[in-house]
Structure 1
Amino acid sequence: MSSTLLDEYRLRLEEIKSPLVADDATWHSCALQAERVIRDCAESLRHCRAEVRGTLIQQVQTLGTERVTKGIDAVHSIRAGIILFDLVFDAIAGAMMSSPDELDCFKAAIRTLQQGIGKRLEAGALGHDIYLLNTVREVNAASYRQLAREIHDHLGNHVSLALRQLELHEMTMDAGPHEVSARIGAVKETLTESLGIIRDLVTQLRRADREGTLESAFAAFLESMEITPSQVRIQVNGSEEWATQHVLDEVFLVVRECLRNALAHADAEHVLAAVDIAPYRLHALIEDDGRGFDVSAVAVTGTANGIASVTERVELLGGSILLTSDPKAGGTRVTVTVPLMDLPGDSVEPAS
């Protein structure tokens, strides 16, 4: 059934002239994700249990980045997702015609279909956003480097030349005209201070191209915990200049606590932490493949001090936090959103 659905899927995409079937490589990556969705739905239908293999979905984030670099807009992924949903839904409904009493299995398969496509679209959109944020950061960094070169090559050289000319002039003067000498000394002092300011400015501009405070803090944390990059992957996308130092410090503490929980309590083999900083909001995602837990049960017992702490920190920033976990299938996912400034027409106070 899978090959038949994939053939129909490609035909439908060709009918709308989707760029996802424009070449074999792009179609192969698209078909691979569709095949995984179909396989998960078939397993859910067979076992009457909704289950999406989330560890494979993270690959779609890279796929979203690859598509935007090829000029494929995110809307084409959404259209493809709608087509795939229709095709698989019809196939599931057709399979249930012979077993109309197994309604629970039908519900499980449909839930898997919805989650499988939805999570992949979300991951692809995240990859698209990461590409845009990093492009903006690279453009800003290039602008800083250009400005640093202009200051050093033009202004710096002119000031150095003027200072040298004054020094030569001072050497040829008689000792008599003390007033002129004093004026020249003042000019020299001013130019020397100007050179110092220029050097400091150039240093600051070049420093903007280095690792940001969050990246450095996370790197130091992983090193202190002796955590290997293969176990924990951390990404900071966008420009940290869009957030205040207070917000960055609080977000670091929140993400660090989530990482500790995943490693200490969930026994996770792999953990992903991604912090995306845009001009108007900061979004953080922490996801692991460890043992899940019953979020509501833990909240009732009041034993989750770490969860209470990070929730309070996020809320004090004016943000929101969502924690989901599955004690049966495993895995925990934490999403944090913090507003950085008012959008036009908003009445919400900016985070400080």
Structure 2
Amino acid sequence: MHSGFVESDTAEQLLGRTHELLSDYRGRLEKIKSPLVSNEETWHTCALQAERIIRDCADSLRSGRADVRDRLIQQVEGLGVARATQGIDAVHSIRAGMILFDIVFDALGKAMVDSPAAFDGFQAGVRTLQQGIGRRLEAGAIGHDTYLLNTVREVNAASQRQLAREIHDHLGNHVSLALRRIELHELTWESSPDEVAVRIGAVKDTLTEALGIIRDLVTQLRRADREGTLESAFTAFLESMEITPSKVRIKVNGSEEWAPQDVLDEVFLVVRECLRNSLAHAEAEHVLATVDIAPYKLQALIEDNGCGFDVSEVATAGRANGIASCTERVELLGGTILFASAPEGTRVTLTIPLMDLPGDSVERAT
């Protein structure tokens, strides 16, 4: 009872210093000329996240166990998008997170000195501080990268549509006109009919072939704008399982041209396995899968709100479960995959480096 009272008192002491800690936080950001304090609106969003982290730390001091409010963290993904639209690089959020960690850690340490009996609460508070900042940085980075990747994808799609118009309107029109003129000459030329016929026939064959190539190019360019290898494969999978979009949402960001086909194939199999596990074993009501493809790496995140499982127990239960198979597939591509599960849901993250460039012969790690 006494220990609980001390921890509660320590938590109130930390909460009572919130304004002081936020003031120190802003002062340090201003000192390094961080764009996160360039205007009141941006600072307000930054201060709100810091205040939530401090409150989570206080709650952990009271309970003696790490406790981070995950639902609030999910909102930070939208904040990452906002940072990207403002032109604020993710490195500024990382610097801010390091500064906030130092400030709150010192505050927790002072509270520990004032109340040595609250050591369990201090440990829980530090864990909450680390997890609260880390998860927010991760969520913000996902939102930031998603925005940039989608922007690149939109630019690529616009370029493809423009190229398709240019080919059709200009090159196609000129070739068609030349073909028509030759057809007219066939009707009027009377000298050397045999020679003219041979020459015109060859030109017509060439131009006809060129028109066929142009039509194929235009068709491929327009198809590339509306279809993706992964997206179409996932769509077919969901349709075959009669899974509604309200239950499972899948999003592919970036250009699939940046990843080799074998990587895309393996990622599809891994994500599909995770989706099946979420629906069949976790009894999840909602599943979200996001695949982000950049020129240098591919990342995927699969989250559900199912019943969760004991990762360590399942991982050692034999190779019949999907974890071993997924892990092997990702590691053979030189990547990493992490499983995190709790009664509130499961989270799978995988990262695969895309280091192969045209002309390279570097083999992936095996």
Q: Which one of 330, 345, 356 corresponds to residue 314 of structure 1?
A: 330
The one of 97, 121, 127 equivalent to 2:143 is 127
How many aligned positions are there? Answer: 349
Distance 1:90 1:56, change over 3 A: same
Greater displacement, 66-75 / 281-290: 281-290
Q: Give the Cα–Cα distance (whole angstroms) in 1 for the partners of residues 79 and 163 of structure 2.
A: 35
Q: Where do 5+ consecutive residues of structure 2 fail to align?
A: 1-15
Q: 2:102 aligns with which of 74, 86, 89?
A: 86
Aligned residue number for residue 353 of structure 2: 339
- Name the residue aligned to 1:64: 80
CA separation in 1, counterparts of 2:99 and 2:168?
56
Question: Alignment RMSD, CA only?
Answer: 2.6
Q: Which residue of 2 aligns with 1:349?
A: 363
- Structure 1 position 144 matched with structure 2 position 140: no
| Distance in 1 (alpha carbons) for counterparts of 2:112 and 2:187 | 100
- Secondary structure at the aligned position of 1:150 is classed as helix
1:208 is paired with a residue of what secondary structure? helix
3-state SS of the aligned residue for 1:37?
helix
Query: Is 2:39 the counterpart of 1:23?
Result: yes
CA drift at 1:165: 0.2
Q: Which amino acid aligns with 1:145?
A: R
**What is the percent sequence identity of the aligned residues?**
77
Q: How far has the Cα of 1:198 moved from its partner?
A: 0.7
Q: CA deviation at 1:120?
A: 1.0
In structure 1, the partner of 2:56 is: 40
Matched residue, 1:73:
89
Report the AA paired with residue 196 of structure 1: G
| 8 Å CA contact 1:311, 1:321 repeated in 2 | yes
Unaligned runs of 5+ in 1: none
Q: 1:340 touches 1:350 (CA, 8 Å); kept in 2?
A: no
Distance in 2 separating the partners of 1:96 and 1:255:
44
Pairwise mapping of residues 1-352 of structure 1 onto structure 2 (< 5 A)? Answer: 1=16, 2-174=18-190, 177-302=193-318, 305-326=321-342, 330-342=344-356, 349-350=363-364
2:338–2:349 contact (8 Å) kept in structure 1: yes
Q: What is the identity, as a one-letter code, of the residue corresponding to 2:345?
A: G
Residues 20 and 176 (structure 1), Cα distance of their counterparts in 2 relative to 1, 3 Å cut: closer
Is the Cα–Cα contact under 8 Å of residues 339 and 351 in structure 1 kept in the other structure? no
Matched position secondary structure for 2:225: coil
Of 28-37 and 112-121, more deviation after overlay is shown by 28-37
Change (3 A) 1:315 1:108: same
SS at match of 1:101: helix
Q: Given the superposition, is the C-alpha separation of residues 317 and 230 from structure 1 closer, same or farther in structure 2, using an over 3 Å criterion?
A: same
Confirm or deny: 8 A CA contact 2:36 2:92 kept in the other structure: yes
Task: Give the TM-score, by structure 2 length.
Answer: 0.86
